Amino acid sequence: MSELLENEPLDEALAARLCGEIEERGYAVAENVIPSELREALLDRIDHGMQKFEIPFGENAFLGHQTRRIFNLLARDRLFETPPVFPGTLPVIERVLDSECLLSSLTAIEMNPGQARQPLHSDDGSYGFPRPSPTYVLVAMWAITDFTEENGGTHVVPGSHLRERRPRRGDEPEAIQVEMDAGSVLFYDGSLWHGGGENRSDTRRVGIVNNYCAGFLRQEENQLLAIPKERVVNFSPRLRRLVGYGTYRGLLGHVDQRNPEILVDPEAKTDMIWGKIGR
Ligand SMILES: O=C(O)CCC(=O)C(=O)O
């Protein structure tokens, strides 16, 4: 699989354009950034996981009665270690959130024919900070199959990340539906009003939701407990830090004044705040 992990880093100019669009409209699309072999291999692992873990349909309108989600992908299969650190997408996340950001959750979504439209929502709801605010949650939705108007491409309300409130039931703002080819990635600010579309087609729509948050926040899915440590030992140093084996500004997340990275790599360099404070 190692050849699937290699990819050209994102072009500077493209990264800058995407970040500008995220700031202004709350979302941006990077077209055709995922190599097809990687995308196909991910689809194969998702299908395998659906069967192996007997993934059920959602139990409410939000999760979707015709939709199946595999949560905690990093505990399921090693191939899922690729998307969160992918060089074609991670630079956008780091430019917006900074390089000490965390992976908040990693989830596959298979939305099947007949799925109704998901209620509009924003992913910052559980944090409860006043709005608008600087971006502290940023999502990269990987299109593993095509996202179309007919199969339920994500609805987004441009500029809504700057509104003073989250959407409420009954709101009917002007939304547009994001259509993108398989292999593309939709980035959206956690404050953006958005939601999955209705699947009126006869094919499924499959995506991987890479949800990142600022390094000083609690992650949506508790990565430190959800992923067995024996797996984390085999992660790349970058992925270890992303799931939480690291600190924020050399302080938050420390274990007995040391960087928790040493729990999975005794050789890790632990550069802590206490070493920088003069006597
Ligand atoms: O499936 C989509 O297009 C969006 C999903 C989403 O926003 C969610 O489940 O929180």
Q: Is the pLDDT of residue 75 over 90?
A: yes
Per residue in 101-149, pLDDT (tens digit) is: 999 999 999 999 999 999 999 999 999 999 999 999 999 999 999 999 9
Ligand 1 binding pocket mutation candidate from 126, 204, 209 (most atoms within 8 A of CB)? 209
The answer, yes or no, to whether any atom of ligand 1 lies below 6 A from the CB of 156, is no
Considering the domain architecture, whether residues 179 and 279 belong to the same structural domain is answered as no
Given this model, what pLDDT does residue 2 score? 46
Given this model, what pLDDT does residue 276 score? 86
Count of the separate structural domains present in the chain: 2
How many Å separate Cα 74 from the centre of its chain?
12
Given this model, what pLDDT does residue 66 score? 98
Secondary structure (3-state) at 41: helix
Considering the domain architecture, whether residues 161 and 261 belong to the same structural domain is answered as no
With contact defined as beta carbons under 8 Å apart, do 17 and 95 qualify?
A: no
Residue nearest to atom 5 of ligand 1 (CA): 196
Considering the domain architecture, whether residues 102 and 122 belong to the same structural domain is answered as yes
Q: Is the pLDDT of residue 224 over 80?
A: yes
Q: What is the CATH number of the domain that holds 95?
A: 2.60.120.620
What would the mean pLDDT of 174-185 be, rounded to a whole number? 97
Considering the domain architecture, whether residues 217 and 264 belong to the same structural domain is answered as no
Considering the domain architecture, whether residues 218 and 256 belong to the same structural domain is answered as no
Mean pLDDT (the chain) is: 95
Considering the domain architecture, whether residues 143 and 116 belong to the same structural domain is answered as yes
- Which residues are paired to 255 by β-bridges? 258
DSSP 8-state code for residue 183: T
Given this model, what pLDDT does residue 156 score? 98
Range with lowest mean pLDDT among 4-13, 105-114, 232-241: 4-13
Considering the domain architecture, whether residues 187 and 100 belong to the same structural domain is answered as yes
- 253-277 burial, b for 16+ CB within 10 Å, e for fewer? bbeeeebbbebbeeebebeeeeeee
The answer, yes or no, to whether any atom of ligand 1 lies below 6 A from the CB of 38, is no
Considering the domain architecture, whether residues 113 and 219 belong to the same structural domain is answered as yes
Residue nearest to atom 2 of ligand 1 (CA): 196
What would the mean pLDDT of 193-201 be, rounded to a whole number? 98
Considering the domain architecture, whether residues 71 and 101 belong to the same structural domain is answered as yes
Considering the domain architecture, whether residues 267 and 235 belong to the same structural domain is answered as no
Domain holding 266, by residue range, is: 250-279
The answer, yes or no, to whether any atom of ligand 1 lies below 6 A from the CB of 194, is yes
Q: Is the pLDDT of residue 71 over 80?
A: yes
Question: Which ligand 1 atom minimizes the distance to the CA of 155?
Answer: 3
Residue with tokens 């059920």: 56
Considering the domain architecture, whether residues 9 and 143 belong to the same structural domain is answered as yes
With contact defined as beta carbons under 8 Å apart, do 157 and 191 qualify?
A: no
Given this model, what pLDDT does residue 279 score? 67
Considering the domain architecture, whether residues 33 and 129 belong to the same structural domain is answered as yes
Predicted TM-score (pTM) of this structure: 0.96
- 36-70 burial, b for 16+ CB within 10 Å, e for fewer? eebbebbbebbeebbeeeeeeebeeeeebebbbbb
